């Protein structure tokens, strides 16, 4: 399956195909005529897929690698100088290419490096986690974390190409399959009720995996459509942040140790929908419907923290502009709207 993201001079293809990683060279060489490639990956993914990829690409290019420790702490701003130094040690120039091979952490970090190194060099995404395949590899948001919060320093940097090989999900820890389902369910919540309902009906991962190409395609197609209309995130794109206002704050509150991103988003979607329901902004019963689907994937539904404790982190949310906080709420499943709130009035002292 193939889809084009139409962004004028920044347009690119997304290819979803089991086994595509084994023919990455032909896809990449048709787009990239430079000399050097550096693969940025993590210490879980590189041993599984990196060497094979490097061998293929070495037929045509000079290839190096930078392998970072896995996990969110590697996305800290502080780690950037080391990455730039390594690229300089490889003598990377402005016509060379970075490939992000890994989950969303690798994609966001490598993308930010590609956006800033030498004022920007070419970049390809090869996402290997479910979350990265359905969400983070598409749309061009790249970022790093700072002590005040998640993704607070970033850029829009579009890849030349996104190569999605669902076969890589076979080695992904089941925890991260469930985690990725947090974002998959988000797409249903904001844009597609039938898709949302379908997600509640898979018996196990094998059944889900049977349909995985189609599930990835549907998520990415929703994201493509939204991003094409509102690339810079001031309008329709905000919907992709459903569950993230509270989700990001929870991740940070627990120092990125207790909840992974999809889990925190799951908690955030339930919390904000319960609050909105109590205030008559969302159709009654919506939060329970979300809970039912999330429970199906053993995703957490609550964190033992009060919304007031999250306010500092929430105050840095990028959706807040012109003295107004913005929350993505649902009228109903599949139907979102943006609620502007000057005083975070919506955040009663509810336990999230």
Ligand X SMILES: NC(=O)c1ccc[n+]([C@@H]2O[C@H](COP(=O)([O-])OP(=O)(O)OC[C@H]3O[C@@H](n4cnc5c(N)ncnc54)[C@H](O)[C@@H]3O)[C@@H](O)[C@H]2O)c1
Residues 72-91, mask of contacts with ligand X (x by CB under 6 A): x--x----------------
For ligand LNCXM5UN, which is the closer residue by CB, 54 or 339? 339
172 binds ligand X (CB under 6 A): yes
Q: Which of ligand X, ligand LNCXM5UN, none does residue 244 bind (CB under 5 to 8 Å by kind)?
A: ligand LNCXM5UN
326 binds ligand LNCXM5UN (CB under 6 A): no
For ligand LNCXM5UN, which is the closer residue by CB, 36 or 150? 150
The CA distances from residue 215 to 4, 45, 65, 221, 265, in Å, are: 17, 23, 31, 10, 19
141 binds ligand LNCXM5UN (CB under 6 A): yes
Q: Which of ligand X, ligand LNCXM5UN, none does residue 259 bind (CB under 5 to 8 Å by kind)?
A: none
5 binds ligand X (CB under 6 A): no
Question: Furthest-apart CA pair in the chain: how many Å?
Answer: 61
241 binds ligand X (CB under 6 A): no
For ligand LNCXM5UN, which is the closer residue by CB, 125 or 241? 241
Q: Which stretch binds ligand X (CB under 6 A): 12-20, 44-52, 113-121, 271-279?
A: 44-52
SS3 107: helix
For ligand LNCXM5UN, which is the closer residue by CB, 56 or 241? 241
The Cα 151–Cα 173 span in angstroms is 24
- How near is the Cβ of 321 to ligand X at its closest, in Å? 19
- How near is the Cβ of 340 to ligand LNCXM5UN at its closest, in Å? 17
The Cα 261–Cα 34 span in angstroms is 35
What tokens were used for 58? Answer: 């070495």
Residue 328 contacts residue 186 (beta carbons within 8 Å): no
Residue 138 contacts residue 227 (beta carbons within 8 Å): yes
- How near is the Cβ of 33 to ligand X at its closest, in Å? 27
Residue 31's CB: how many other CB atoms inside 10 A? Answer: 13
Query: Quick one: which of 64, 102, 166, 243 contacts ligand X (CB under 6 A)?
Result: 102
Helices (H), the chain: 24-29, 45, 51-57, 80-89, 104-116, 130-131, 174-191, 193-199, 205-210, 212-229, 244-253, 261-278, 286-296, 311-315
SS3 115: helix
The Cα 315–Cα 233 span in angstroms is 18
The Cα 291–Cα 79 span in angstroms is 37
Residue 244 assigned as binding residue = yes
Helices (H), 117-211: 130-131, 174-191, 193-199, 205-210
- How near is the Cβ of 135 to ligand X at its closest, in Å? 4
240 binds ligand LNCXM5UN (CB under 6 A): yes
Question: Interaction with ligand LNCXM5UN in 178-197: which residues (CB under 6 A)?
Answer: 183
Q: Which stretch binds ligand LNCXM5UN (CB under 6 A): 133-141, 160-168, 204-212, 286-294?
A: 133-141
The Cα 251–Cα 243 span in angstroms is 12
The Cα 187–Cα 130 span in angstroms is 14
Binding residues for NAD(+): 104-108, 128-129, 141, 150, 168-171
Positions that interact with ligand LNCXM5UN (CB under 6 A) = 135, 139, 141, 143, 151, 183, 233, 237, 240-241, 244, 318
Positions that interact with ligand X (CB under 6 A) = 42, 44-45, 48, 70-72, 75, 102-106, 108, 128-129, 131-132, 135-136, 139, 141, 151, 168, 171-172, 176, 179, 260-261
Binding residues for Zn(2+): 183, 244, 261
């Amino acid at each position: 399956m193939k889809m084009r993201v139409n962004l004028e001079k920044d347009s690119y293809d997304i290819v979803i195909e089991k086994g595509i990683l084994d023919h990455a060279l032909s896809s990449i060489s048709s787009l990239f005529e430079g000399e050097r490639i550096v693969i940025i990956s993590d210490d879980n993914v590189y041993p599984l897929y990196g060497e094979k990829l490097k061998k293929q690409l070495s037929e045509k290019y000079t290839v190096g690698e930078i392998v970072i420790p896995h996990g969110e702490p590697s996305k800290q701003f502080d780690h950037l100088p080391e990455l730039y130094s390594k690229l300089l040690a490889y003598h990377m120039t402005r016509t060379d290419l970075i490939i992000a091979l890994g989950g969303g952490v690798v994609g966001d970090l490598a993308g930010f490096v590609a956006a800033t190194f030498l004022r920007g060099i070419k970049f390809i995404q090869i996402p290997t986690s479910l979350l990265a395949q359905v969400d983070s590899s598409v749309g061009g948001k790249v970022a790093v974390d700072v002590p005040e919060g998640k993704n607070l320093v970033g850029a829009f940097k579009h890849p030349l190409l996104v190569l999605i090989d669902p076969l890589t999900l076979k080695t992904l820890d089941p925890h991260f399959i469930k985690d990725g389902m947090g974002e998959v369910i988000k797409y249903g919540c904001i844009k597609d009720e039938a898709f949302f309902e379908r997600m509640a009906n898979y018996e196990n991962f094998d059944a889900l995996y049977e349909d995985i190409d189609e599930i990835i395609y549907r998520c990415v197609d929703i994201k493509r459509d939204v991003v094409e209309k509102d690339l810079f995130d001031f309008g329709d794109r905000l919907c992709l942040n459903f569950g993230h206002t509270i989700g990001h704050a929870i991740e940070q509150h627990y120092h990125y140790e207790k909840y992974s991103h999809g889990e925190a988003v799951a908690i955030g979607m339930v919390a904000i929908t319960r609050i909105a329901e109590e205030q008559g902004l969302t159709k009654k019963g919506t939060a329970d419907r979300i809970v039912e689907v999330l429970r199906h994937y053993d995703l957490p539904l609550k964190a033992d923290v009060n919304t007031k404790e999250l306010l500092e982190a929430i105050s840095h949310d990028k959706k807040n502009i012109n003295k107004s906080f913005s929350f993505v709420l649902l009228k109903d499943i599949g139907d979102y709207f943006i609620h502007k709130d000057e005083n975070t009035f919506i955040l009663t002292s509810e336990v999230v």
